[in-house]
Structure 1
């Protein structure tokens, strides 16, 4: 009886616990055994906020710590206010603050070498993090640092040791490794406003070109003196300094009270930086700001309420947290923002950037259409603003600027999906104009004149040709669907024809998509195991095995090319069991199950393809295997870069039991639910998924009901979800091979 009461009390406490308690910001922050980990940071931010205030464990972060932080490091260079979550390129790291005691080392030797004169050792047993809050003890300075944030503002709390000199370094030269992507500081400035405030800016170019970052900082104590440093030259107690290698060292009295520092950021002006700060954090109550950040996260996480094991809950809500870190609203509190043409404009609905679209169009944006429809509409309208000033939709947009990273133009499926699903506030005709123009205008990575001339990408004209052919064909299918909706019949037929160009690279003799030259000849030698990176090979961050399955718009056509469902399923069997590797594996490929590489996006839909071939129990097997073996609660909790929430979104969908194989179709293939219950808030309705008997062994679907009626289809639709209702699974330890196996039950 006592045990039953304890179990009941534990269940009630779990149900009543704040969802933010399940978020572990350290998941994905550091690899083990030379693997990938997620490349996420543990610092403080709020949902979709511009400021991400987090420690940098490198003087000049590079690709292996692109978020600025590596859990394996024992050194902190300082705390900068902007970061990227899960990307493969290190960028941002703006306006670094670091509290210190005593003197700092001066720069010696080559000015271009990293500078670590004020950094400190730290240990994880004196470090903690939760949504909207980060804390660490700096060993070398004996300073306890606490951080929190608002949308455009950061809030620092430094507890200095008694009797020690209290100083704060502000570094405007801290950035990714200089020279990478042409990174260098163009100009920078500090200006003392009064004895409690300092403002400044830097103009820096790198992965995003010519970014302007203004800041305004206030302190709870007066500045007793300042030392402005430009390179190796010091200027004491000056009011203003301009240069390209600037640091400010500010002195404060040491007493029993912590030093508080509030910093506002803006891409527009120092006045707007101050306005952002005074609007978002008007007072000096640090704990109140922490509570406000936690409340914002709680509100967003409540959009899906799940019941599972403690580890499942932790992975799920950390994943949802990572999915909601970006895109970031660059518009100031008054609506001002800087567009892709560097002109200042205004939109009270915000201007969002950080679009890792080659990744996030697959699952993250479909997730937004369900639980963040208003925000996803704002994301789309922000993309349309780039089209208006730039001529085509974003490919990889950062700080409002296009950096042309990756291939294709995957803003197209995001925009089309939003319109087809009826998200509010999007002009469908304007959206169609943008996707059509973006599908017919040559730009880096998508030469459409070549596409129209050859009906495939010849490798001797355009490298990464096979991946480009497959991905552009999918984008064209998306354009065709919007043309159909709007009654543009001629355009529909043209883009549907282009969406079938993938067939022109299929080699029946090998059973793979292969590169051709501009004469129509397959290029030899060929090995389906040989990897490509980001140029110089027909495949992008993968091989022919991994890209074979990338025809989400026409899986029936792919099955036909393979020789029918039996051959298709047999090829999937080989794909998941063939472990041999040829030559060097691309560094982005990780999380292997045979040739399946969950650590990078081209593979991530493939576990669900058995649903299309009448063997859904194998989808259930492999989806469950991925969730249980390639996600965990440690610092190496992801099998590859999280890529702005895509890896996380895969888990969020899959743990509930379904996934958008074709992200723009509004159809979700069913996998293997691991949560006992999931309740998704969709507008004013809820969609509930239950999985009776689910456990580590009971991974196979025995039967299902949708709204009380027998459900044998191995898919559900957007309408099934958004109209509200309940999807009930009964789980068991062995496959029920009759469930979902009929042709009529397969995804369309």
Structure 2
């Protein structure tokens, strides 16, 4: 009986995939996506991509996915491909982050008379955990399924923007149960990663409906989330578990450790379907979201809609390449489009940072801004393929400025968590402004950018910077990284001020953007920390790593932060001495394998001191384009794509970080990358795709054609743009935006004539 039922379900899945409405080219891009890429690490010495395999919609609020850990921590997605048991399915997850949070409202079906089991220290025995096999696990964009071996139950998930739907198919007609855990979250007693349930409630509306909420303080402080769940059949009884107390069939319970177990009589082999709406605003909002997006229990129809939505989004770039390349590329786009997340209800209501309920006119209010990561390549890629949403992202950032006083640093669930350093909403806004993206108020955005560069706040005491011309380590930790990163942000502010006619501001911020020079030690050849007396802090070891405080460098060392002057590379080359010395230092960077005993948990994917698994290194390959040896950018970019990405669960060399690792590959595979994310210039590397067509928002297409491509042919021999020879080591955004065709001709050996090609422009105004 169970085999027959599961065969029918499988046939439905195949049929649903086959009847997808196709785009104009009749291509199903979702078939190239492997949602398991990034869900595991290569080995014990590697980092997981920290991605989840569950069902979600592009930029949606819900990510309905399995959790394999009682206290999801590492990987932060809650799912590790190496694990063999599943604890349940929760409705919100982060994609590729280095810190954990969310995991709201864990659902787990089970059969028989098994009793609840409290958690153990190893985090592997809590509740009704079940073994599973990857051979019985299937997933694609908008759909996830697995067989829970301990109960012989097939669990399937799909999603709309604000809702998730479950379908549980039971192998035999027997009593079965569904537990909903409102306490499930990350570890409670860690000094660094912790979560506290402030309060939670579950309420029985009727025998086919429950609703509830929880208030959680974790990475996002005092986060509120509400749910409403409706069932395809009535439950016969229920048990509320509030801490150590159990209550039979009561209508409502409140507790910080709260669960409800729903009991169903014999099921006659019919699946149980559950549709769940969630909201960051109110219980009424969760109900409205559910009524708007899931009017019935048509699981297959919802799954098809989700897959169609993903196919539409993924069609923004059409490529030709190997199966491996397509899998990495389109899975990368998929990961890129999971967030930022629209946390507004279907009504447009959202909870502002001052805890007032506001309304977004376009029904979109985005959060999950991992800006220290994503400003580098993810947001520049959004400006190419998500132009309308880019304006929505910026309007959402501006709403935080209005209620909070400055732009987001790392915003989660609409609240600021101050993770990481710098104020990197600034380059995102300035980049969109300089590219002429419409849909937000430029002057209002400038005022927000300026305020965020002058109003002192956590990790950004601008009064200290203005006094010393750098951040002294004895007054502000992470001082070198902060000085360098804020210098870049200041350059961005200056460009926007200049174009809008704020001449005094332009001069101030342009001058402050040169403060990085105050920490360069010509004797050692590195940026180093000084104290408030202007003295170098000793001892100094350029190989020593810092984390997120208590050290001059953030998630890196002096080698990795040596190259962080994206706004002023020509001047930095002069500071290093000359072109030859700059190239020699770059060469040493990529070949020096020495490492201290502890390289920090964020460092991975090494080529010498280059660590592709974390963001400070991401632009460094392309600095060769500013030198007399640009072909080395081609060599190392090809090496990284081929060695540090794959199409298996270990597909990323570090945390995927909300699309940044993917964006690096997507840009680089097409042959170019934004060293300075806000100057509308892309530096050339080694194109790896036979063809790539970017379908632009203005209706035009920009095509990349790579001739003579092979494993050995990694070097550009010549370039033709729109039928004419092209002798630059970069391409401007305006050339892409205007549409056209660029052709690369590849060979086995470097074309050293490229040393005479025009170097990348650095001043946005020159474009």
Q: TM-score, normalised by structure 2?
A: 0.94
1:443 and 2:457 aligned: yes
Question: Equivalent residue for 1:51?
Answer: 62
Question: Equivalent residue for 1:171?
Answer: 181
Q: CA deviation at 1:16?
A: 5.2
8 A Cα contact 1:565 1:613, kept in partner: yes
Q: CA deviation at 1:742?
A: 1.6
1:85 and 2:95 aligned: yes
8 A Cα contact 1:156 1:262, kept in partner: yes
Structure 2: distance between partners of 1:111 and 1:640: 27
Question: Equivalent residue for 1:217?
Answer: 229
Question: Equivalent residue for 1:365?
Answer: 379
Question: What is the SS of the residue equivalent to 2:490?
Answer: helix
Structure 2: distance between partners of 1:105 and 1:218: 25
1:296 and 2:306 aligned: no
The CA RMSD measured in Å over matched residues stands at 1.5
- Aligned partner (choices 569, 583, 586) of residue 583 of structure 2: 569
1:36 and 2:50 aligned: no
Question: Equivalent residue for 2:85?
Answer: 75
8 A Cα contact 1:51 1:152, kept in partner: yes
Q: CA deviation at 1:281?
A: 1.4
Structure 2: distance between partners of 1:165 and 1:257: 12
Question: What is the SS of the residue equivalent to 1:362?
Answer: coil
Structure 2: distance between partners of 1:612 and 1:489: 29
8 A Cα contact 1:614 1:743, kept in partner: no
Question: What is the SS of the residue equivalent to 1:73?
Answer: coil
1:191 and 2:206 aligned: no
8 A Cα contact 1:204 1:211, kept in partner: yes
Structure 2: distance between partners of 1:643 and 1:492: 32
Structure 2: distance between partners of 1:174 and 1:724: 50
Question: Equivalent residue for 2:472?
Answer: 458
Q: Deviations over 1:720-742 (max 9, x none)?
A: 11111111111111111113x22
Question: Equivalent residue for 1:6?
Answer: none
Question: What is the SS of the residue equivalent to 2:107?
Answer: strand
Structure 2: distance between partners of 1:65 and 1:112: 15
1:472 and 2:494 aligned: no
Q: CA deviation at 1:114?
A: 8.2
8 A Cα contact 1:577 1:594, kept in partner: yes
Question: Equivalent residue for 2:675?
Answer: 661
Question: Equivalent residue for 2:290?
Answer: 277
Structure 2: distance between partners of 1:66 and 1:425: 34
Structure 1: distance between partners of 2:691 and 2:355: 47
Q: TM-score, normalised by structure 1?
A: 0.96
Structure 2: distance between partners of 1:225 and 1:78: 21
Q: CA deviation at 1:65?
A: 1.7
Q: CA deviation at 1:112?
A: 13
Q: How many residues align?
A: 733
Question: Equivalent residue for 2:217?
Answer: 205
Structure 2: distance between partners of 1:553 and 1:65: 34
- Aligned partner (choices 76, 100, 122) of residue 110 of structure 2: 100
- Aligned partner (choices 332, 344, 357) of residue 344 of structure 1: 357
Structure 1: distance between partners of 2:721 and 2:65: 44
Question: Equivalent residue for 1:685?
Answer: 700
Question: What is the SS of the residue equivalent to 1:576?
Answer: helix
1:204–1:115 CA distance, 2 compared to 1 (3 A): farther
Structure 1: distance between partners of 2:639 and 2:523: 32
Q: CA deviation at 1:691?
A: 0.2
- Aligned partner (choices 240, 246, 270) of residue 258 of structure 2: 246
Question: Equivalent residue for 1:735?
Answer: 750
1:335–1:526 CA distance, 2 compared to 1 (3 A): same
Structure 2: distance between partners of 1:95 and 1:716: 47
Q: Deviations over 1:641-691 (max 9, x none)?
A: 000000000000000010000000000001110000000011211110000
Structure 2: distance between partners of 1:189 and 1:603: 45
Q: Deviations over 1:415-448 (max 9, x none)?
A: 1111111111111110111011110111111110
Q: Deviations over 1:206-229 (max 9, x none)?
A: 110111111011111111111111
Instruction: Map 1:488-503; keep pairs closer than 5 Å.
Output: 488-503=502-517
Structure 2: distance between partners of 1:372 and 1:511: 41
Instruction: Map 1:602-641; keep pairs closer than 5 Å.
Output: 602-641=616-655
Q: CA deviation at 1:745?
A: 4.1
Q: CA deviation at 1:694?
A: 0.9
Q: CA deviation at 1:117?
A: 2.1
Question: Equivalent residue for 1:8?
Answer: none
Question: Equivalent residue for 1:228?
Answer: 240
8 A Cα contact 2:71 2:123, kept in partner: no
Q: CA deviation at 1:586?
A: 1.1
Structure 1: distance between partners of 2:395 and 2:187: 33
Question: What is the SS of the residue equivalent to 2:39?
Answer: coil
Structure 1: distance between partners of 2:337 and 2:383: 13
8 A Cα contact 2:48 2:75, kept in partner: no
Question: Equivalent residue for 1:3?
Answer: none
Question: Equivalent residue for 2:168?
Answer: 158
Question: Equivalent residue for 1:354?
Answer: 368
1:709 and 2:720 aligned: no
Question: What is the SS of the residue equivalent to 1:170?
Answer: strand
Structure 2: distance between partners of 1:610 and 1:624: 14
Question: What is the SS of the residue equivalent to 1:248?
Answer: strand
Q: CA deviation at 1:58?
A: 0.5
8 A Cα contact 2:69 2:123, kept in partner: no
Question: What is the SS of the residue equivalent to 2:591?
Answer: coil
Q: CA deviation at 1:327?
A: 0.3
8 A Cα contact 1:714 1:747, kept in partner: no
Question: Equivalent residue for 2:10?
Answer: none
Question: Equivalent residue for 2:741?
Answer: 726
Q: CA deviation at 1:107?
A: 4.9
8 A Cα contact 1:476 1:495, kept in partner: yes
Structure 2: distance between partners of 1:613 and 1:662: 16
Structure 1: distance between partners of 2:408 and 2:427: 12
- Structure 2 residue runs of 5 or longer lacking an equivalent are 1-24, 763-767
Question: What is the SS of the residue equivalent to 2:104?
Answer: coil
Q: CA deviation at 1:348?
A: 3.2
Q: CA deviation at 1:240?
A: 1.1
Question: What is the SS of the residue equivalent to 2:112?
Answer: coil
8 A Cα contact 1:220 1:260, kept in partner: yes
8 A Cα contact 2:120 2:126, kept in partner: no
- Structure 1 residue runs of 5 or longer lacking an equivalent are 1-14
Question: Equivalent residue for 2:424?
Answer: 410
Question: Equivalent residue for 1:522?
Answer: 536
Q: CA deviation at 1:545?
A: 0.6
Q: Deviations over 1:93-123 (max 9, x none)?
A: 0011111112343455999988712111111
Structure 1: distance between partners of 2:306 and 2:222: 31
8 A Cα contact 1:150 1:293, kept in partner: yes
Structure 1: distance between partners of 2:327 and 2:123: 40
Structure 2: distance between partners of 1:396 and 1:348: 24
Structure 2: distance between partners of 1:380 and 1:410: 12
